[in-house]
Amino acid sequence: MIKTIAHEVAYWTSCLVIAAALAVFRTVVFLLPVSFLKKVFTAKMEKLGILVTNGPKAIGFDKNKYTAEMVIHSDAFYKHLGDGPLLHVLGDTYMDGLWTDFDESKVQEAIFLKAPMRSHPMGPLWEWNHVARNQQTVKLSKRVAEEHYDLGNDLYAAFLDETMTYTCAYWTPETRTLKDAQIAKLDLIARKLKLKPGLKVLEIGCGFGGAAKYMAENYGVSVVGYNISVEQVKIARERTKGLPVEIRVEDYRNANEKFDRIFSVGFFEAVGSHNFRAYFEVCDRCLKEDGIMLLHTITSSTTRMLRAGGWLNKYIFPGGELPFTYELVTEADPMFRVEDMHNMGDSYAKTLKVWNDNFNRAWPELKPKYDSYFGGKFKRCWNNYLQVCRACFDAGSVSLIQVVYTRDGVKGGYICER
């Protein structure tokens, strides 16, 4: 009890100190002349290969010298440069309409390629303020479900494919559509898990039920899925009706029965670094001795990246933290050994591009319901979300990793699937 109170006091004291430091930094930048800020910012962007244009529209750029053009529509943009790490500032000011990208996500991609997030004087402070405390307790974990996944099923249906799969698709030379690529991903997971009729499968974070439905229909397995998003569960239960699938509105930490196979797709990003070990302990408790487990997650490719604390946490995924790639091994040891690790980051960049295009095509139908969200900035917010995530993958700053685990290997050796 005393230790908990001391930790809380230390945490909130640190928050106050960080808030004060950020306020001082913001004030200093705000008081600087716009002409000076323009000069410094333009020079910094040019080092990153970005042409800064001040005016109403793009003027075009020499592709031998630059990789992107950033069009700044108002001098008010420069007064926000002290508000936080650069990508956070760009997200907020993009939502305000203060700048645009000549070619969608190219500005963010150039930044991810050449400007490590920890290089910003305030970057590590923002990250520490986020990760110092467990943001994914049983109580706090419900925020992302309520604020993101429960926004509205009509929104997700508008930009996802017919399988309603809200995770990275798997693009191959044979896939032509987003639906093709999502089915290819689901089948790849089933093959990696070596599914066969009669097996009992646990899915941690089952989304709209697409994976459970596909595996029950095509591989003859029974599936138990855990999900705390009420809106997603409604769809998942409708879609899996009549199949050997049970969808539980329950925290994954409550799982306490044995399964032949365990997998999670696009869920580990919401587990939180304080709970990585606990996640694998749940899997250890529930996986049979000869079982196989698969984890499909976005990771930070390098420790130069901030794992959390930026614009995406503020508007899209509250409490989210990306694991570093190496943690997929260290946090699972010694409970599990890695049989296969597969990086599919290029596929996610393409998936995000398709989602972004679908969203903008559907916006006229979505606008009456969603236009007032985020103070009337929902469209620009959602575009920035999809574009900045795409830029992360295009730049290689983040990866999409599928890891296959066993306890002590597979008799005859594990055969990798692609």
- Report the distance separating Cα 414 and Cα 407, nearest Å: 12
Active site residue 389: yes
Joined together, the tokens standing for residue 85 give 């790490």
Nearest-angstrom CA–CA distance, 206 and 232 = 9
49 in Cβ contact with 59 (< 8 Å): no
Adjacent-strand bridge partners of 248: 226
| DSSP class of 138 | T
| CA–CA distance, 110 with 50 (Å, rounded to integer) | 7
The catalytic residue among 283, 389, 392, 416 is: 389
- In this structure, are residues 418 and 342 in contact, taking their beta carbons and an 8 Å threshold? yes
Amino acid at 223: V
**DSSP states of 21-39:** HHHHHHHHHHHS-HHHHHH
- What's the CA gap between 392 and 399, in Å, rounded? 8
Number of Cβ within 10 Å of residue 304's Cβ equals 12
- Which runs of E-coded beta strand occur in 184-251? 200-204, 222-227, 245-249
Long-range pairs for 41-48: beta carbons < 8 A, 24 or more residues apart: 41/78, 41/81, 45/70, 47/114, 48/110, 48/111, 48/113, 48/114, 48/115
Active site residues: 389
